[in-house]
Amino acid sequence: MAHIHASNRVDRLDVNKAFTLDVPDLNYDEKLRITPDAVSFFTWKESFDLRGFSDGDSWKKAIFEGWGTAMLVWLTGLATYSLVPRVSDFSSGALFPALLGALMNTVSLSLLLFATCPITGGHINPLITISTFFSQLTTFPRTVIYVFCQTTGATISGFLMRAALNRPNGAIPGCSIDPSAVTAGEAAVLETMTCVALIFIVYGAGLDPRRGAIYGPAMGPVLMGFALGVCTFVTGALKPGYFGASMHPARCFGLLAAEGRWDLHWVHWVGAIAAAALNAALHRMMQPGRPRNM
């Protein structure tokens, strides 16, 4: 029975449910040693195997993640700088620009996920990467490498945007928080709970390997884009001094670094990490059982 179970087992490859590694593969053991997150579930000890930092293939994928993140930040950043000066043109205030920003996020994220998923698993956001780490879908070394490259790509985009537009010190929807109008506690709760809502939908629609047979790799990016769009819209015009939830700490790091402003930026990282941990705990608690590695 054990032999039958092993021969029928198919595991994920490169943190992407659409690409799998089959046990009968002659190089299975060697591939698994180098990339433990190819399996559906792995132990924390396997996750913290530091040999993953020396895996050249992980670095190649991480660099591509950084490139995809840079493109996402470039497109959404340009949209942001286009909409902010025109808020006063609308009688609804920030409501209609928030709707346009949500639409932009929906379309741009979906398209870039289609572009990056086959190669990297399509994270292009530290929130997603950190969530897969807590859910034991991504190893610790790959998580660190991905987040580093994502943040680097976002920062490069932020400074290129400043060089191209020559307009520092503007409000950045999804990143700017006015500490004189919004307390740190309010910002932390808004960021954390919005990240929880986003990652709950994203995990169920695309990240959980069990969802592959339900939605397939083609539908996942579209659903993730819609999830981001909804979260962007509902937080985009909440109160003066709060310009919407970030849900992408690397994006805010890059754009804020280019403008030299860090008001309550720690909220973007703390909210993302807390949401990732909460989501992982919820799914771990609700699962009826986890298959054991053979």
Domains of the chain: 56-286 (1.20.1080.10)
The one-letter code for the residue type at 224 is: M
Look up the pTM and report it: 0.83
pLDDT digits (tens, 9 = 90+) for 132-147: 999 888 899 999 999 9
For residues 64, 65, 66, 67, the Cα torsion angle rounded to the nearest 10 degrees is 50
Please provide the average confidence, as pLDDT, over all residues in the chain.
Answer: 81
Q: How far apart are CA 34 and CA 16, in angstroms?
A: 16
Check: CB of residue 143 under 8 Å from CB of residue 53: no
Beta bridge partners of 239: 242
Taking each helix axis as running N to C, give the angle between helix 56-83 and helix 95-120, from 0 to 180 degrees, rounded to the nearest 10: 160
Nearest residue to 105 (alpha-carbon basis) of 283, 230, 19: 230
Check: CB of residue 236 under 8 Å from CB of residue 98: yes
136-175 burial code (b ≥16 CB/10 A, e <16) = bbbbbbbbbbbbbbbbbbbbbbbebbbeeeeeeeebbbbb
pLDDT of residue 16: 47
pLDDT digits (tens, 9 = 90+) for 187-242: 999 999 999 999 999 887 777 666 656 666 678 888 889 999 999 999 988 888 89
pLDDT digits (tens, 9 = 90+) for 23-64: 455 565 555 555 555 555 677 888 888 888 998 888 999 999
- Collapsing DSSP to helix, strand or coil, 120 comes out as helix
Nearest residue to 227 (alpha-carbon basis) of 248, 250, 243: 248
Check: CB of residue 262 under 8 Å from CB of residue 114: no
DSSP code for 39: S
Check: CB of residue 67 under 8 Å from CB of residue 153: yes
Check: CB of residue 276 under 8 Å from CB of residue 133: yes
